[in-house]
Amino acid sequence: MVFEKASTRTRVSFEAGMYQMGGSVIHLTTGDSQLGRAEPIEDTARVISRMVDLVMIRTFEQSKIERFAQYSRVPVINGLTNEYHPCQILADIFTFAEHRGSIAGRTVAWIGDANNVAYTWLQAARLLGFKLHVSTPPGYRLDPRLAPPGEYYEVFDDPLRAARDVDLVTTDVWTSMGFEAENEQRRQAFAPWCVDANLMGSASADALFMHCLPAHRGEEVSAEVIDGRQSVVWDEAENRLHVQKALMEYLLLGLEVQ
Ligand code: CP
Ligand code: NVA
């Protein structure tokens, strides 16, 4: 596991999961490895992948993990980049399925920042046949290079309209890791994009609420919503463990395990 950004859930779920399956893990960060001293990512990939069976990386640019994967002999798992967070959305879709059945044909509202978690929800909507309603503040719109137009999503200026009658409302922090310098400016721009009881009231009566965590109560979500009856955030966090164990098993053993 290579962490170039902080983590609680991703680290603990991968580490606990690997030990539960009888394996072991090595935890590297930028500061305690030669990555922090400018060793090329390609060289790091060539070396590490001769010594381990799987690599998980949390880093900045998506291109960095792709360069690593290109030179790796073993599968490389994306543990979050600036652009995507696939392990999170695997857990989120599984959580939806546990509570409500198949997500195909359903509608999900994304309220807040056009970030890595949002872009991965968009990938999932396209792949799994559900629809995403996206509402972001002006100036923080989706990047069309990461969100090619299509039927799988619709953009709304008004977060209340985006949430109307949806099956799931989800959000994330207003300031993702790496963007801390914009914190104050974002706090002001995003203030009307708080998922509160009023916004949940616009969604379908049995809509779920999800958040990848860590959350900031009183910013992107009110305490009433995240700690309320529609919230499934603790199941969602736990499911990181289960889906990632399945992912690691699949990557190591393929379809041998049924
Ligand atoms: N949701 C998530 O990836 O959390 P961590 O940053 O704690 O790993
Ligand atoms: N969008 C957040 C997710 C943290 C799990 C970030 O990138 O910081």
Helix (H) or strand (E) holding 48: helix 41-48
pLDDT tens, the chain, 258 aa long: 999 999 999 999 999 999 999 999 999 999 999 999 999 999 999 999 999 999 999 999 999 999 999 999 999 999 999 999 999 999 999 999 999 999 999 999 999 999 999 999 999 999 999 999 999 999 999 999 999 999 999 999 999 999 999 999 999 999 999 999 999 999 999 999 999 999 999 999 999 999 999 999 999 999 999 999 999 999 999 999 999 999 999 999 987 655
Give the chain's radius of gyration (CA, Å): 19
- State which of 2, 4, 10 you would mutate to test the pocket of ligand 1, scoring each by most atoms of that ligand within 8 A of its C-beta: 10
CA of 256 to the centre of ligand 1 (A): 30
Query: Which ligand 2 atom is the nearest neighbour of the CA of 5?
Result: 8
194 flagged as catalytic: no
User: Where is 3: in which H helix or E strand?
Assistant: strand 2-3
Residue 133 DSSP SS3: strand
* DSSP code for 62: H
Q: Which helix (H) or strand (E) holds 208?
A: strand 208-211
d(CA 42, CA 152) in angstroms, rounded, equals 35
Looking at the CA of residue 58, tell me the nearest atom of ligand 1.
Answer: 8
Q: Tell me what pLDDT residue 4 has.
A: 96
For residue 119, which ligand has an atom nearest its CA? Answer: 2
Dihedral angle of Cα 148, 82, 181, 196, to the nearest 10 degrees:
70
Residue 160, both tokens: 């209340």
**Distance from Cα 256 to the centre of ligand 2, integer Å:** 34
pLDDT value of residue 256:
66
Does the annotation count 172 as an active-site position? yes
Q: Are 219 and 187 in contact (CB under 8 A)?
A: yes
Q: Is 133 a catalytic residue?
A: no
Task: Provide the pLDDT for residue 255.
Answer: 76
Q: Is 219 helix (H, G, I), strand (E, B) or coil?
A: coil
Per-position DSSP letters for 80-113, written without gaps between them: --SS--HHHHHHHHHHHHHHHS--TT-EEEEES-
- For 2, 22, 53, 125, the CA distances from 25, given in Å and listed in that order, are 11, 10, 10, 32
* Residues 61, 146: Cα–Cα separation, whole Å: 13
Whole-structure pTM over 0.85, yes or no? yes
Give the whole-angstrom CA distance, residue 215 versus residue 80: 17
DSSP strand E in 14-173: where?
28-29, 55-58, 76-78, 107-111, 131-135, 153-155, 168-171
Q: How far apart are CA 180 and CA 186, in angstroms?
A: 10
Question: For residue 138, what pLDDT is reported?
Answer: 96
